[in-house]
Amino acid sequence: MLKINNLNLYINNKQLVNNFNLEINDGEIHVLMGKNGIGKSSIAKSLMGIEDYIVEGKYIYNNEDITNMCISERAKKGIYLINQTPMQIEGVTNAEMLRVALGEVTGKNVNIFEFNKELEQVCKSLELDKSFIHREINVGCSGGERKKIELMHMWMLKPSFIILDEIDSGLDVDAIKLVSNSLKEYHKKYNPSILIITHSETLINSFDEYIVHVLDNGKIVQSGNKDLAKEILNKGFKKISGANIISEN
């Protein structure tokens, strides 16, 4: 599915990531953890194709080099990012964006009746009022509403590789549970690969199996299973980063 080979990331002449390597297979869930400001979000954004970064190394997706592809090309191939603060887009409704995007991905005309029916069902499952379908994207929405809208887009676009950059940020306990259940259901139905950046035990524990990686000094210094995540959440990173390496990428 995805291979990140010898990745170095720079912004404003500052190196954020140093010789970072990661491989994610079909259907696997990987969790990237590390202290704040250490480069996790930069990896997520550059993987999506955001152009602020100078990239050295390669992103190989389904055996194709996508390192120099633009955001729209990567999105067409099934890569989808939900970041901490989804942007608002004035003048474009959720329904309009989704119809155009689906047409681009499938190359077919969208059946309006089936589209509306599915979209209403998705809104219901996310406890999102149907009025959001025809509202401008994220305009005037709370943080929790924005995350639900991003999930609505996910369910309609059906990506095969999902990047979650602290999707739990700013959510209350009930909202995190709803988001977690929605992601678990989506994984069960479509079996995408998922890369999660989070500090939320609720979010990652909604999945039965996942692989945890600890980022320190720009690279992965330790990998393990949910026991490693539990240890980090209980003890913090000081006793983890750079020590007792299980498998270094």
Q: What is the mean pLDDT of residues 138-159?
A: 91
Burial class of residue 96, CB neighbours in 10 A (0-12, 13-18, 19+):
middle
- List the beta bridge partners of residue 15: 10
Instruction: Output the pLDDT for position 216.
Output: 85
* pLDDT, position 238: 65
Which helix or strand (DSSP H or E) is residue 216 part of?
Answer: strand 211-216
**Residue of 179, 181, 160 lying closest to 171 (CA atoms):** 179
d(CA 184, CA 125) in angstroms, rounded, equals 13
HSE on the CB side for 160, CA within 13 Å?
Answer: 12
The pLDDT value given to residue 142: 86
Per-residue pLDDT at 41 exceeds 50: yes
CA 32 – CA 2 distance, rounded (Å): 15
pLDDT at 58: 93
pLDDT in tens, 58-70: 999 999 999 999 9
Task: Give the C-alpha separation, 141 to 134, whole Å.
Answer: 13
